[in-house]
Amino acid sequence: MSRFKPDTLERLARAGLDPARLPVHVAIIMDGNGRWARQRGLPRVEGHRQGVQSVRATVEECCRLGIGQLTLYCFSSENWKRPQLELNFLMALLQQYLIEERAEIMEQNIRFCTIGRREGLPEAVLREIDTSVRISATNTGMRLCLAINYGGRTELVDAVRALARQVRAGTLEPEEIEEEHLSNALYTADYPDPDLLVRTAGEMRVSNFLLWQISYAELWVTEDCWPDFGRDTLHRALRDYARRERRFGGLKG
C-alpha cells in the first residue's frame, strides 16, 4: 500500500513527480536574502522578511507532496559576525515566525525540531522553540527541522566530546568506535541523512552545513535568491533529483 494519500498522489502527478523517485529528506541552504534586497534598493532586513514567505510556501508544499523531512539552514554559528542591528532583527523575526506558524504546524501535523547549539540564543527564542517542539512531539507528519546557531564543524566537535566522555567513563573503548558511533552522537542521530541538498543564490559551496550527513546527498543549485524560491523552483529540484542515478559508491546494477 502506498504511503501517499490520493490527494498527494494527484498533486505529485500534476507536478510531474514520481512518488517512487521522491527524496525522503530535503535540506536547503537558504541564501541570498541580502542580495535580493540590495538588487531592489531595499534594506537587508527586507530580504529576510521576504525570505520568511518562501519558508512558509516551501514548508507547505513539502507537506503536500509527502516529503518526510525538510531541514532549513536558518542561522549559522558564523552568522554572529553580522552587525548587531541585523542580528537583533533576525532573532526577533525567528521568534515571530515560531509563534505565528505554530497553528499551521499543528494543522499540518508537522513534527517540529531544531539542531544547533542553544548557547547564545535569546531566552525568548529558546522558549518558543521548546514550546513548538513540545506541542508537536506526537504529530506524525513531515518533520520540519530548523538549523539555528548551527555549524557542521561544531556539531562534529560536540559529537567527539560526547564519545570522549564515554571512553573516559569506561563504557566505550577507542578501538570500538565506528562510523555508527559518531553518527549516533550527532544532533541528527534520530533523523535520516538528506537525499537532496538545495542551495539558492547560485553559490557552489556547502557552507559548513551537515558536513557528515550530506556525504551522499544529491546537490542542486539555483540562481534564484531565497526570497524568489517558490513551488515551481522546488518542483524543478525534485524532478532533477528523480533523474539522477544514486550509486552510493557502487556500480550500476
Catalytic residues, by residue number, are 31, 79
Contact by Cβ (8 Å): 25, 191: yes
DSSP character at residue 175: G
Grid coordinates belonging to 145: 527541522
Round to whole Å and give the CA distance between 29 and 208.
10
Grid coordinates belonging to 108: 499540518
Q: Which residues contact 111 (CB under 8 A, 6 or more apart)?
A: 136, 137, 139, 140, 141, 142, 143, 144
Grid coordinates belonging to 161: 566530546
Contact by Cβ (8 Å): 153, 124: no
Instruction: Kindly tell me the sign of the dihedral angle through the C-alpha atoms of 21, 22, 24, 30.
Output: positive
**Residues linked to residue 252 through DSSP beta bridges, in sequence order:** none
Contact by Cβ (8 Å): 149, 117: yes
Round to whole Å and give the CA distance between 221 and 199.
5
**Residues linked to residue 131 through DSSP beta bridges, in sequence order:** none
